[in-house]
Amino acid sequence: MSDSTLSSGEKRAHDAEDVKPNGSGNMIVDSGSKGIPRSEFVLVSDSSGEAMELPTSSDNTLFMTTLQSSFPGATGMKYKNPKNGALRAVAVDATGTKLLPPADGWDDKVFMDVKLKEVIVVVV
Per-residue pLDDT, 123? 86
First-to-last alpha carbon distance for the chain, in angstroms, is 65
Q: Which amino acid is at 31?
A: S
If one counts the domains in the chain, the total is 1
- Domain presence at residue 73: yes
User: Which structural domain, as residue segments, surrounds residue 52?
Assistant: 39-115
Q: For position 71, which CATH number holds?
A: 3.10.20
Q: Are strands 41-45 and 111-115 parallel, antiparallel or unpaired?
A: parallel
Per-residue pLDDT, 54? 98
Residues in the chain: 124
In angstroms, rounded to a whole number, what is the distance separating the alpha carbons of residues 6 and 4?
7
Rg, the chain, Cα only: 16
Sign of the Cα torsion 99, 89, 71, 95 reads negative
Per-residue pLDDT, 116? 85
Per-residue pLDDT, 19? 42
Closest CA to 44 of 26, 13, 14, 66: 66
Q: Is 12 exposed, middle or buried (0-12, 13-18, 19+ CB in 10 A)?
A: middle
Taking only the tens of pLDDT, the chain with its 124 residues reads 444 433 434 333 333 334 444 444 444 444 345 688 899 999 999 888 899 999 999 999 999 999 999 999 999 999 999 899 999 999 999 999 999 999 999 999 999 999 988 677 788 7
